[in-house]
Amino acid sequence: MEIILAVILGGLFGYALYFAGASNPRQLLSMLRLEDLSLMKIIVFAIGFASILLSISIGIGIFDLSHLSIKATNLGVIIGGLIFGLGFGSAGTCPGTCVAATGTDGIKKAIAAVLGGLTGAFAFSMTYGWWKNIGLFDQMNFGKITLFHLSDKFPSVFQFGAIGLFITGVIFVVIACMIPMRGRQ
């Protein structure tokens, strides 16, 4: 039953990405060039709205904090994020959007992006021991840290808890409403 629910929710999410234009590499690149900000409005609003819902769910006790999985922050994660960002910016697609794009006219680019990601993941896993031995994961190791204090299990940057998450969510929603549909021309 869980698999069926996951497939249904994944299909709905993929449709939402397609409907918003996020499965179209041209639309994503146009957003990254600050030419068409409609997709940015959707993304910033979604982050804010999800933050509000999560903070309310935590506040009223319907979200089990043991479901949070926090990964350690270190130099390897930062470098990986930079590589991911370069790939996203050059291809105009990321893992979620390229899977959604396989059902559209962007299937060739989507398959290339998936193969590139799998190749990168394979290369990293084959060289993980070397990276670990040279201390990549020990540099700038901040451990498992969150932005807001949601659980005693993880340290946080700010001690505001769910209230801070709620306020940040509201700020993101307000910013999303202020972002113009069109960027620079």
The full DSSP string for 85-130 is HHHHHHHS--HHHHHHHTTTTTHHHHHHHHHHHHHHHHHHHHHHHH
Check pLDDT > 80 for residue 106: no
State the pLDDT at residue 144.
86
**In this structure, what token pair is assigned to residue 102?**
């396989």
The verdict on residue 172 lying in a domain is yes
Check pLDDT > 90 for residue 159: no
The verdict on residue 56 lying in a domain is yes
Domain that holds residue 52: 36-69+144-184
The verdict on residue 126 lying in a domain is no
Residue 87: which residues within 8 A CB-CB, separation 6 or more?
94, 113, 116, 117, 120
Instruction: Tell me if 162 sits within 8 A of 65, measured CB to CB.
Output: no
Domain count, the chain: 1
What's the pLDDT tens digit per position in 48-79? 999 999 999 988 989 888 887 888 888 888 88
Provide the percentage of residues in the chain whose pLDDT is more than 70: 98
Q: For residue 179, which amino acid is it?
A: I
CA angle 168, 39, 32 (to 5 degrees): 95
Check pLDDT > 70 for residue 184: no
What's the pLDDT tens digit per position in 15-36? 888 888 888 888 888 998 999 9
Q: Which residues pair with 143 in a beta bridge?
A: 73
The verdict on residue 101 lying in a domain is no
The verdict on residue 170 lying in a domain is yes
The verdict on residue 156 lying in a domain is yes
Reported confidence tier of residue 140, pLDDT bands at 50, 70, 90? confident
